[in-house]
Structure 1
Amino acid sequence: MFAYRSQIASLALTVFTAYTVPAFAQATDYPSETVKIITPFEAGGGTDIVSRQLAHKLEGLWNNNPVLVENKAGANGNLGTDIVAKSKPDGYTLLLTTNATIVINPQLFGDQVKYDPVKDLAPVSMLSALPFVFLVPPSSPAKTMEEFIEMAKKSPGKLGCGSSGVGGGAHLALEMLKARGGLDITHVPYKGTGSSITALLGGHIDCLFVSILSASPYIKQGQLRPLSVSSLKRNASLPDTPAVAELPGLDGFESDLWYGLLVPAGTDKAIINKIHDGAKAMIDDPEFRSKFEPTGAVLVGNTPEEFSKQIEGDIKKWTQVIKESGVANQL
């Protein structure tokens, strides 16, 4: 009987070792080959810029182990995101994307999205958030957001607010404002941020939500007037511009464009932590901060657990906005 129990114990130890030692070895040896950061948008954009900064930082931290950036644009970012979601969960394929492909697109495009952002991907860290700015032309009688809301309530359906396109972050920010503020404002979609700003400058529309990065030059030159920002708190680059959330009845209003790092679901936790530590080192780097904070970007670098809760809350929030506004039917 004693010999039998010893055999069972030996077998259990063998099975335990078979399952744990390889995983431990995988984590401690990582990385030992080229790591790819896939961004699901074209080169030159925000995700591409941040991806290349991250790749450079990780290479330095990982003894010059190659870290390459691959742009896999297409299908509103869904193509590249799907590639990562279906990749081997070994830490050698990372995804640097925005809340568009993780939170918004699955709600807008339904079955056209072939991945499940919660089941197929594991959060590593939110890297930064970029708020939208609500702009009006200098000729607008509204000098504050309160005055604009009052003006909109007195002229239901007569004010036109532009965006960079149906279903984009700027459009959804407007829909949230309309719903929360009880406003009847006509949405005027354009083919991109540039054309929507041109329309506002030309007096073809009355207002516009646009990223703080795109709005900054026009604000500095006095060509457009900022009335509020879409983040929960004021932005350091526009300290005199209140957040929408400061207004009565609009507390909790938040609509930011965020950049996040994820990996395929099932990736070893120790590897996720190592990737997270590298990303956090980039966020905490004074040189990196000096480049990005003046643009209005809010650098984050939170934990995988915190990022997971952020995604969960955002999905719940935007599912409701998209459903109530009927945005998906406008595509």
Structure 2
Amino acid sequence: MFSYRHHIAGLAISLIALQAAPALAQSAEDYPDQTVRIVTPFEAGGGTDIMSRELANKLQGLWNNNPVIVENKAGANGNLGTDIVAKAKPDGYTLLLTTNATIVINPQIFGDRVKYDPVKDFTPVSMLSSLPFVFLVPPSSPAKTMEEFLELAKKSPGDLSCGSSGVGGGAHLALEMLKARAGVDITHVPYKGTGSSITALLGAHIDCLFVSILSASPYIKQEQLRPLAVSSLQRNSSLPDIPAVAELPGLDGFESDLWYGLLVPAGTDPQIVQKVYEGTKALIDDPDFRGRFEPTGAVLVGNTPEEFSKQVINDIGKWSEVVKQSGVANQL
């Protein structure tokens, strides 16, 4: 099973390698001179896919139109694509754009079934954004507020169903946290990815869904899905009229977030890591990009490789308690 303490040493080694930045200018000098692929371990149409394609376009422009492509490698709750990058050659031509699900949560839930080590096998480049989940229901739902939905759940234990992008993902853990805190029984229905779960909700095949505010935004704007609450401590600026779950009686302090981050295989030349980081930061600082994503509720970050490495370790400690209390590992 993944151990928080065991990997602090691994983080220290990663940070030393980043800070030392040995003189490998020759290997990084001409980078990139071939196709760079950004692997996202989830289906097309979700938040990681959206971010990956924006980043690919920005990097290709910055790198004199050197090809940068996106490959969706969905499967095994994101572990499949993540493992592909973990085992890729550390030459800077295979990048991973993923969420805290595959780097922070999955190794704690799946244990030895995860074949990669989130600290030893990767070098973090930068966190692109952090954002809350939004709790959605179809327009046909009789619940117009979060309070009404929880009342329905209490009256009919187990009858209501809630989708997610997969067992043990951030959306699933947000649901488990809600169930535990609100004292309700809601049936979890995992899908292969965010896109599939949204499709199920659009068809009213499930009753509710926690999904990233970025993925949910188009459906909310077109009134195809109804938002009842957000998972951040406070209301989100893009949905000022939608309450936070934490505002409900007995649910104070409720918070569940999602981040999108870029990583490369461990052992990648630090100068290449820095070059990829600079391209990522250029995207985050781009006014057009900010103008597109900040209105969706996303908090754009763009922190350094060192800062992101520390964030990964902090999040492993934070979510280890949630995973333990939820009993999610026993559902597998």
- TM-score (norm. length: structure 1): 0.77
Question: Structure 1 stretches of 5 or more lacking a match?
Answer: 1-18
CA deviations 1:258-282 (Å, max 9, x no partner) are 2210011233333322211110111
- Is the CA contact 2:104–2:315 (under 8 Å) kept in the aligned structure 1? yes
The corresponding residue for 1:322 is: 323
Q: Which residue of 1 aligns with 2:170?
A: 169
For 1:140 and 1:66, how far apart are their aligned partners in 2?
45
Residue in 1 aligned with 2:8? none
Residue 300 of structure 1: aligned partner? 301
Taking a change above 3 Å as real, the CA distance of residues 122 and 254 of structure 1, as seen in their structure-2 partners, is farther
| Amino acid in the other structure paired with 1:329 | N
Distance 1:295 1:323, change over 3 A: same
Is this contact kept in 2: 1:161–1:188, CA < 8 A?
yes
Q: What is the CA deviation profile of residues 179-213 of structure 1, one whole-angstrom value per residue up to 9, with x for unaligned ones? A: 3x2523222415442354247x58x74x5423334
Residues 115-139 of structure 1, C-alpha deviation per residue, up to 9 Å, x if partnerless? 0011111111111234221235678
Using the alignment, how far apart are the partners of 2:73 and 2:153 within structure 1?
A: 44
Query: What SS does the corresponding residue of 1:57 show, helix, strand or coil?
Result: helix
Give 1:152-231 correspondences, 5 Å limit: 155=155, 157=157, 160-164=160-164, 165-179=166-180, 181-189=181-189, 191=191, 192-194=196-198, 196-198=200-202, 201=204, 205=207, 207-216=208-217, 219-220=220-221, 225-231=226-232
Q: Distance in 1 between matches of 2:139 and 2:32?
A: 56
**Distance change >3 Å, CA 241–CA 266, structure 1 → 2:** same
> 1:54 and 2:51 equivalent?
no
Deviates more, 1:131-140 or 1:66-75: 131-140
Aligned equivalents of 1:40, 1:175: Cα separation in 2: 23
Are 1:162 and 1:196, in contact at CA under 8 Å, matched by a contact in 2? no
Quick check: 2:21–2:270 contact (8 Å CA) kept in 1? Answer: no
Cα distance in 2, alignment partners of residues 167 and 20 from structure 1: 36
Q: Once structures 1 and 2 are overlaid, which stretch shifts more, 124-133 or 29-38?
A: 29-38
Q: Which deviations, in whole Å up to 9, do the C-alpha atoms of 1:95-149 show, x marking residues without a partner? A: 1112222122222322121100111111111112342212356787866546666
* 1:226 alignment partner, SS class: strand
C-alpha distance 83-37 of structure 1, shift in aligned 2 (>3 A): same
Question: What SS does the corresponding residue of 2:38 show, helix, strand or coil?
Answer: strand
Does the Cα contact within 8 Å between 1:31 and 1:65 map onto a contact in 2? no
Other-structure match for 2:12: none
Report the Cα distance in structure 2 between the residues aligned to 1:244 and 1:304, rounded to whole angstroms.
32
AA at the equivalent of 2:187 = H
C-alpha displacement at 1:285, in angstroms?
A: 1.0
What is residue 254 of structure 1 aligned with on the other side?
255
- Judged with a 3 Å threshold, the aligned counterparts in structure 2 of structure 1 residues 270 and 186 are, in CA distance, closer, same or farther, namely same
Question: What letter corresponds to residue 240 of structure 1 in structure 2?
Answer: D
Q: Residue 313 of structure 1: CA displacement?
A: 2.7
Contact 2:158 2:185 (8 Å CA) reproduced: yes
Alpha-carbon distance in 2 for matches of 1:195, 1:49: 17
CA distance in 1, matches of 2:85, 2:328: 27
Q: Relative to 1, partners in 2 of residues 1:218 and 1:71: Cα closer, same or farther, differing over 3 Å?
A: closer
Q: Given residue 71 of structure 2, which amino acid in structure 1 is its aligned partner?
A: E
Q: Which residue of 1 aligns with 2:72?
A: 71
Question: Residue 82 of structure 1 contacts residue 115 of structure 1 at CA under 8 Å; is this kept in 2?
Answer: yes
Amino acid at match of 1:33: D
Identity rate of aligned residues, in percent? 71
| 1:89 alignment partner in structure 2 | 90
Q: 1 CA distance for matches of 2:21 and 2:226? A: 59
Aligned equivalents of 2:143 and 2:42: distance in 1? 36
Query: Which secondary structure does the structure 2 equivalent of 1:302 belong to?
Result: coil
Distance change in 2, residues 1:190/1:147 (3 Å): same
Once residues 143 and 33 of structure 1 are traced to their aligned partners in structure 2, the CA distance between those partners, rounded to angstroms, is: 54
The letter for the 2-side match of 1:86 is K
Question: In structure 2, what is the Cα distance between the partners aligned to 1:240 and 1:259?
Answer: 25
Amino acid at match of 1:98: T
Q: Which stretch of the first structure deviates more once superposed, 255-264 or 319-328?
A: 319-328
Q: TM-score, normalised by structure 2?
A: 0.77
How many corresponding residue pairs? 307
Match of 1:8 in 2: none
When residues 223 and 174 of structure 1 are mapped into structure 2, their CA distance, relative to the original with a 3 A threshold, is same
- Give the aligned residue type for 2:325: E
Q: d(CA) in 2 for partners of 1:242 and 1:105?
A: 29
User: Structure 1 141/88 Cα, relative in aligned 2: closer, same or farther at 3 Å?
Assistant: closer
Letter matched to residue 93 of structure 1: T
